[in-house]
Amino acid sequence: MRRLALLIAAVIGPAVPAFAQISQEWTRCVNETNSHSFEIAVAACTALIRSGKETENTLAIAYAARAHAYDGKGDKGRAIADYSKAISLNPTDADYYNNRGIAYRAAGDVDRAIDDFSKAIATNPKHMPAYSNRGNAYRARGAYDQAIDDYSKAIEFDPSIADHYYNRGVAYRAKGDNDQAIEDYGKAIAINSKHAQAYSNRGYAYRSKGQYDRAIADLTTAIELNPGDADNYNNRGYAYRRTNEPDQAIADLSKAIEINPRLANAYNNRGAAYEHTKQYERAVSDYSKAIEIDPKDADYYNGRAWAYFKAGKAERGLPDVERSLELRPDDANTLDTRGHILEALGRREEAIAAFRRALAKDPNIKDSMVALKRLGASP
C-alpha cells in the first residue's frame, strides 16, 4: 500500500528587528543563517527576554525566535508556549499563528492547528503557507473537500510550488478520485521532475485504476529517485504480479521486505506471487508473517486460507477463512474462498450457501458461478 504522505510547509523564521546595528545576541537569537545551534539560539533569546530592555514588539520577536529554536529541537510544548507569548505581545503577526499551528499539528492537536491557521488567514488573507498548512490539517481530519479548497487557494497565490499540487493530489486520492489525483501529481512532476513522492503516489493511483504498465513506469522512476522507500518496491511488485510477471514481483517484494522487515503488506503480496508460481508452502509462510505483524487484517487470513486450499490442505484453511469473515463479515471474495474450502471438505450444502452469498455481494465473481454449476446448483 502507499503511504499518502503530506509535505508540510516549514516554519517561517522570525523577522530580524529593525535596528541600525544588530547586536551579537540578536544575531544568535534570530539565527537567520542557521549558523548557530538551537541551544545557542535559545540561550541568546532567553538573555534578551530577561534583559528588561526590549519593547513589546522586539520582545515578541525574541519569544518567536526562541519558539523557532525549541521547535527545531523537537520541543513542541515550549515552542507553543513561546509562540503564545509572542502572540499576546503582538497579535497582528500572522506568522506567529501559522507557526504555532504547525507546532500544534506536530503535537497531534489538529483542531487547534486549524484554528491557528484560520487566525493567520484572518490576520493576513494572502498568507499562502497558512492555506497550505490548513489544507494539511483538514486532510488529517478527513475533511478532504475543505483541504482541496485550501490547496487550491495556495495554488492561486503561487502556482509554481510543486508541493501544493502534490498535496491536493493526496487529498483527491484519499477521496477516491484517482483521475484528479493523477492530474495533480502530473502538475507537481512538471514543476519538479525529481519529485519522488509524486511519481510514487501517481504510480499507486495508476495501480488502483488497473493501469499496471503506467504504474510500473512511475514506480520505477520513484525508485531511481529514492531507492530506500520500501513502499515503491511493494507497489511495483504488486503491479508486476498483476501483469503476470511473478519473478519480477517476487524480486521487488523481497527488496521491500529487506528495506522494511515489518511491512506486512509486502509479505502478503509476495505470498500471492508465490501462489502464482505454485510455491504454496512459501505463500503460507509469507501470509503467516503478515498475520504476525498485523493480526487484524482480513486479507491476510483469506490469503493464507486460499494458499492452504491450493496446497491440498483445506482443513487448515477453514479456521483462517472463518477468522477473515469475523474481521470483515460478508466479504464476497472471502465467501468464495470459504465455498471452495467447504466443497473440498465434502460439505456440499454449506459450500453452495457460501457461493450464493458471495454472488449476492458481488454478482461478478466467476469462480462462484462456475462452482455452483459444478455442484449442480442455481445461483
Best CA proximity match to 249, nearest among 261, 260, 263, 235: 235
pLDDT tens-digit readout, 339-373 = 999 999 999 999 999 999 999 999 999 999 999 99
pTM of the model as a whole: 0.87
Write down the mean pLDDT value for the chain: 94
Best CA proximity match to 327, nearest among 299, 351, 369: 299
Question: Average pLDDT in the 51-64 region?
Answer: 94
CATH 1.25.40.10 fits 1-157, yes or no: yes
Best CA proximity match to 273, nearest among 296, 254, 294: 254
In whole angstroms, give the CA distance from residue 377 to residue 112. 60
Contacts of 63 (CB under 8 A, 6+ apart): 45, 49, 82, 83, 85, 86, 89
* Cα atoms found within 13 Å of the Cα of residue 219, Cβ hemisphere only: 28
pLDDT number for residue 94:
96
**Do 316-379 and 1-157 fall under one CATH topology?**
yes
In whole angstroms, give the CA distance from residue 138 to residue 124. 19
Residue 126, Cβ density class (10 Å: 0-12 exposed, 13-18 middle, ≥19 buried)? exposed
In whole angstroms, give the CA distance from residue 222 to residue 212. 15
In whole angstroms, give the CA distance from residue 102 to residue 285. 43
The SS3 assignment for 3 reads coil
CATH architecture of the region 316-379: Alpha Horseshoe (1.25)
In whole angstroms, give the CA distance from residue 332 to residue 309. 17
In whole angstroms, give the CA distance from residue 11 to residue 264. 34
Ranges of each domain in the chain = 1-157, 316-379
**DSSP code for 32:** T
pLDDT tens-digit readout, 176-233 = 999 999 999 999 999 999 999 999 999 999 999 999 999 999 999 999 999 999 999 9
pLDDT tens-digit readout, 133-191 = 999 999 999 999 999 999 999 999 999 999 999 999 999 999 999 999 999 999 999 99
The C-alpha cell 519569544 sits at 63
